[in-house]
């Protein structure tokens, strides 16, 4: 249905009805005479209308749409809609419900109603501009098909602690998490074709989520990181955040950038078994740390299912927090490969790490308390302790 709407349309111009000391922008304002977006009686050209009376045309793709504190009647969408921009302001206390329909927004979407409810519905959101869910009171997103930022206006998502589902970040689009100190959770799919910037806070991928960084896609930040809970993460683009934390059961595949820590486990739940399945090849330029502090917990590194080669750029540490739990390495068909030109320390905590391939052009490597079958070449010293 989106094909009928022109992309990149500019906002309508005109002289607003009435006068006000500080006029709000020209656009269409919701009066809530009834709940139907498609009813002209619900729309006015100024906030509150003239004596509360609407009767103007239903918003189109050239109109900026506003829901304000003046009238907080519910709005239920009964067909696919389009507008230039959608702003649900703080003070609006009603419910905006997309139900099963699609929406195209040529500009930006701002969901700022701290006391209101926004139900994204089960349709699709196509947004050329920004998406700000920083201060939405109740945001319902469980059934949404997709939220796609086209990137045509260098669009940005501002989360500030909000949660979303099934997000598609096209080339030119970005996510900024915001700075209010709250983490955010993604559900369903996160497809990164553009740039995901984890500004200020971490993003947690919920159970069953699938994160794919496509070729040309970038996930980046100098401080904050991605945490994956019972989900998949595949990197065919660039992941340059300092750390990546894999909690619960996860799948990981691809070539990652950065020099941080790939952390497996990192939780405090007892009497559980967590399995991380590696894809065909996983390249991690930084440290690999497996950690769990509960005596009855088990961490399984599965390199067998996909005959995985796991390339680690710096150190491996299986000793720090695994003293309370059990680590199982399934790698009869997989291999650890060390190819860094820097010094590497491999502390296996007495584990059999199987076939290890050395392709080091320089730099020493030290194995501590490890059982391994070494092959390959190393221009530096190889020490086994």
CA distances to 163, 249, 260, 353, 368 from 267, rounded to whole Å, are 22, 12, 18, 23, 25
For residue 64, what pLDDT is reported?
96
Range name among 22-26, 94-98, 172-176 with the lowest pLDDT average = 22-26
Looking at the domain assignment, is residue 255 inside a domain?
yes
Burial of residue 20 (number of CB atoms within 10 Å: 0-12, 13-18, 19+): exposed
In this prediction, residue 271 has a pLDDT band, given cuts at 50, 70 and 90, of: confident
Helix, strand or coil for residue 218? strand
Looking at the domain assignment, is residue 115 inside a domain?
no
Looking at the domain assignment, is residue 253 inside a domain?
yes
CA distances to 206, 230, 268, 279 from 249, rounded to whole Å, are 11, 5, 14, 14
Q: 77, 84, 87, 27: which is closest to 57 by C-alpha?
A: 27
Q: Look up the domain containing 285 and give its range.
A: 244-385
Say what percent of the chain tops pLDDT 70: 82
pLDDT at residue 283 is higher than 90: yes
For residue 306, what pLDDT is reported?
93
Q: Give residue-wise pLDDT tens across range 201-251.
A: 567 777 778 888 888 888 887 777 777 877 888 888 888 888 888 877 889
Looking at the domain assignment, is residue 32 inside a domain?
no
For residue 21, what pLDDT is reported?
41
What size, in residues, is the chain? 385
Residues with Cβ < 8 Å from 29, sequence gap 6 or more?
43, 44, 45, 46, 47, 48, 49, 66, 67, 68, 70, 71
Looking at the domain assignment, is residue 360 inside a domain?
yes
In this prediction, residue 26 has a pLDDT band, given cuts at 50, 70 and 90, of: low
Asked if residues 250 and 231 have their Cβ atoms less than 8 Å apart, the reply is yes
Looking at the domain assignment, is residue 69 inside a domain?
no
Looking at the domain assignment, is residue 45 inside a domain?
no
Q: Strands 273-284 and 250-255: what pairing?
A: parallel
Q: Give residue-wise pLDDT tens across range 322-369.
A: 556 788 889 889 999 998 999 999 998 888 888 999 999 999 999 999
Average pLDDT, the chain: 82
Give me the long-range contacts of 119-123 (CB less than 8 A, separation at least 24).
119/95, 120/144, 120/147, 121/77, 121/97, 122/98, 123/80, 123/98, 123/99
Cα separation, 94 vs 303, whole angstroms: 52
Looking at the domain assignment, is residue 56 inside a domain?
no
Asked if residues 270 and 244 have their Cβ atoms less than 8 Å apart, the reply is no
For residue 349, what pLDDT is reported?
85
Q: Domain count for the chain, please give it.
A: 1
């Amino acid at each position: 249905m989106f094909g009928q709407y022109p992309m990149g349309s500019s906002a309508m111009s005109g002289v607003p009805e009435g006068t006000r000391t500080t006029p709000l922008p020209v656009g269409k304002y919701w009066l809530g005479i009834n709940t139907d977006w498609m009813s002209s009686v619900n729309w006015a050209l100024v906030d509150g209308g003239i004596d509360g009376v609407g009767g103007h045309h239903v918003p189109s793709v050239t109109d900026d749409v506003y829901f304000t504190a003046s009238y907080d009647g519910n709005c239920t969408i009964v067909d696919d809609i389009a507008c230039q921009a959608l702003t649900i302001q703080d003070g609006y206390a009603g419910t905006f419900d997309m139900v099963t329909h699609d929406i195209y927004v040529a500009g930006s979407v701002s969901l700022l109603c701290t006391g209101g409810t926004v139900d994204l519905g089960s349709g699709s959101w196509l947004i050329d501009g920004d998406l700000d869910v920083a201060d939405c009171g109740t945001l319902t997103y469980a059934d949404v098909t997709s939220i796609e930022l086209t990137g045509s206006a260098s669009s940005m998502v501002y989360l500030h602690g909000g949660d979303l589902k099934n997000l598609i970040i096209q080339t030119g689009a970005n996510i900024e998490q915001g700075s209010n100190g709250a983490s955010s959770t993604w559900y369903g799919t996160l497809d990164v074709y553009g740039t995901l910037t984890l500004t200020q806070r971490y993003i947690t991928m919920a159970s069953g989520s699938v994160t794919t960084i496509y070729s040309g896609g970038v996930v980046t930040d100098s401080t904050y990181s991605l945490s994956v809970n019972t989900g998949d993460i595949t990197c065919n683009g660039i992941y340059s955040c300092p750390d990546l934390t894999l909690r619960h059961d996860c799948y990981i595949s691809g070539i990652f950038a950065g020099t941080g820590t790939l952390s497996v486990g990192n939780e405090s739940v007892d009497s559980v078994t967590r399995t991380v399945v590696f894809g065909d090849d996983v390249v991690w330029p930084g440290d690999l740390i497996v950690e769990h502090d509960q005596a009855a917990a088990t961490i399984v590194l599965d390199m067998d299912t996909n005959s995985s080669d796991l390339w680690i750029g710096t150190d491996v540490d299986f000793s720090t927090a695994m003293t309370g739990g059990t680590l199982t390495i399934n790698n009869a068909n997989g291999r650890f490969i060390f190819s860094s030109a820097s010094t590497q320390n491999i502390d296996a905590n007495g584990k059999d790490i199987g076939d290890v391939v050395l392709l080091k052009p320089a730099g020493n490597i030290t194995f501590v308390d490890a059982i391994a079958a070494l092959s390959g070449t190393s221009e530096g010293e190889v020490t086994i302790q």
